Structure 1
Amino acid sequence: MDRHRNPFTCYFCHEKIENETEMGHTSVCGNVLIPCPNKCGSYVPRMEMPLHKKECLNRPSRSMTRLTTTTDCLETYEDGITSRTNNGSIRELIERLQHDFHKLSTRLANYEVASGSPKSKQELNKLQYQTQLLFEWKKAADFKLDTLTQSLNSLEKSRNESEYHWMGLQQKLMNFDKLQMDINLATESFLKEQNYNRQANLEFAKNLDEFKDLFEQENVTFSHLWADQKRSISDIQADINSLKHNFEEMKAKQVSVVFDIKTISQIASETAEKFELQEREFTKFRQQFEQMKLDLEILENLASCDGRTSPGHLLWKIADFEDKMSKAKDCNTVLKSPIFYTHNYGYKIRVLVYLNGLKKWKDRYALISIHVLKGDFDALLKWPCHIEGTVTLRDQENSAKNFTKHIVAKRQSGDEENEEPQESSFSYIFIPHATLTKSHHLKNDEIFLEVKIEQNRNLLTETTL
């Protein structure tokens, strides 16, 4: 069976095991959790169980009878046997038990020969017969253990996938450990009774009868335990078969689920791409629509503002300020002022306002620039042009609190397309959002911007009529 002992890493102590089977190591590993024998509800690592028994709330009283004391002795012997099994397998433990029983039988035979009692010889023969039955039971148990070990080794590769079920199997293996503990308990009890017989020669017959009764009781206990163990092995085999069947079903379901997930993932990816494309197109359309509405409003204002503008001067009322600011934040819309001229027969210009700012100024400042358009007198004007002026945010109650800034526009030629100002350019000014709303610049949801173009000598002489 050594050829089946492949190296593995213990799940409980995380050590690499090379010279033991996984089942054999698990049955003696000190880090395996086992239930408290006092039924306090705790699960304690095997190596810490002696300490837990001393601290357990359900520990037996110190004033228990001789039977309790004997049980504690047997548990001590059981711990000794368990510690010895750390260097060997269950087979080696049973061989030691066989050797101990053989040694015991030899000593009893020598003792009976020395005593010369026919009745004692008859009892000794019965004891030897029962010992022989124990040897046969050991061979049968050996065979069953080999079969069970081979079955468990065949499932080592699937242990990681069936860890939860393995914990249930471990609980059943603990029942097998309990059988070993009962065997050790019986052996310790047998040795204790033998020691009593040797120390009390005057009560030999009485102690021998007690030993016989105890051995018969233990034999009956062994029979019941073996029957229970056979049922446990049958249950384990049934669980293993059920586990294999469930594993095959889970494997088939997993393949199907993986295929469905891949299909759904591909469909979701395609849908996300289409949705993102539609969302971009919708955002672009919304921006165009909002800008179109503003342009239409500007055209209406142009129709109503005819005759109210003069060369080089514009007073522009921006109504519905909150609504226009909201649209600027959502759609990056641009406000366009009525068209006017720098001077008589001069450059055709208009003012552009980005209420929510651009790039690094976004959400903090409103940007204002002068846009030079294609005019009727461009052929007679000097290019590139240089236009200077002031932009004033009017305070609607106190003109002393007006906010004024100087503005410059330099263009190579007139352009009908909206030109977005560049950050490195000085052709636009910025007004903080806080300034727009403080004092009385904003009142009744409207603001007033006043633009004055400086009528310097160079600008006035640029048009020759």
Structure 2
Amino acid sequence: MSLNKRASKSEFKDGKGIIEKPCYFCNELFELGKLQQHLKDCGSILEQCPLRCGAWIQRKHRETHVKECPKKERNSQTFERSWSPQPPIHTWVPKADEGIARLEKEIDAIKLALAELASHRDLQSTEIENVRSKLILIEERTEHFISTLVAIRTTVDDEAERTTDFTAQFKHDLANVQLALQEMQNEQLNTAMRLESATNQIVHEQNERELLEQALTHHDNRIRAVNKLEDVIEYLRQTVEEERERNTESRAVLEAELIEARRSSQQLAHLSALREQLQTASTSDRPAIDRLAILEVATADARAEAAEHAAKMDIVLRDMRALTKSYHKLRSELADFQTRVSFDKYETSSDNGHYIWRIDNFLARMKDAKENNTVLSSSHFRTSKFGYTLKAEVHLNGIGRWKGRHITCTVRLMAGPYDPLLEWPCDISVNIVLKDQPANRKQAMDIVKTLQVRRRSAATRHDYDDDEEDLSKSTEGLDKTVVQLKRQYIFFPHTSLDKLEYIKNDVMFLEFIVNK
């Protein structure tokens, strides 16, 4: 403890903050790292005389002492042997001088042993002092090491704390950067999608514009072609009418000429008979002969004129036959053209077998149906893109026995542009749905009924497919074929329309679903 206190009291600091300690032997100040090296070479440290004279001298005076040591001439073995004191032998000495001499020798031996013990003690004390100095150095180093370790630990803790804070801040910044990058990527993706959608919309609008322009051009061309065709048809009609009038006049003239020719032939026959009678007669009346010659000349002229009229009649008949053929050919071409135009004008509202028909102004249409038996017809729709063409018809006031009590609905197969490619006869099942219109669609109570639509071929009509002219006729005859009507029509009672919201805002919806 005293060494520690002494060491702690002997510490000094210079102006730079470096800790310095004095040497235990020469009292000079040294840094902690240089003090140990100084102790190895310090000249003030006491050491025993190497000649064992019993003296303790400083290192810096050792060589001088060795030169002047009184034990230099003695044998070194005398100093190396260990002294073991012998107990005094109390013998009787006959002579006083010999006893004194022996006592002196024993005293010298005792002194020598004491000197050796003192030298050993001094050596041990020196070693103890060296150990103390080493302990002081070790304590100083330990304190320095502990202080350094504490400083390093504090520095490491501070650095770890800074590293932790920096790591947390870096993670936070990295998360913010990732969020910003993700938002930027999302914004870029949204921008790209908006740009792509805008581009697609522009392309779609351009395509629609081109299609509309093409459709308008095609429509204008068709209108011009139809106008030209109508002009041609009108011209042909006028030409045919004029030809008919001329043919009628020519026929009347020819008939009159034929009558004259027949009359002339009768006259010729009569003249021939008269000539024969005159030739057989024996009279020689000159005026009768002249009259006969005149009649023969007139008969020849009449025959020539009749032959000429017959030739003209043959030519007119040939022209009439050619005009008739041309007229029938033009009529067939006109019918084909009208068929193509009607197919081109088809605007199907649906081509997937699913069609919803919105009927507006229901009350006004119902009143019209009650007064005039009006039939409502829907737009055309197909069972598929290239399938059968259908059309729905509705009698709001019903027909036959159900008139005034039911809504009657049917679906008809119409002539379509793809009929030659389809299978015939056909049998199609169609679900007809009267749509309920509640505020909550999940609570809707739709009425669903099924209708079978049949047709033998594309060229012939089914027995159930009546002409449009028959629809305007009286429905009294339909009462006789109730079974047939049940196959053609489905019925919705008028009483069911008031129970739920089948008619809402004066609008009714009918849905048609073709069963595959």
Normalising to structure 1: TM-score of the pair?
0.31
Normalising to structure 2: TM-score of the pair?
0.28
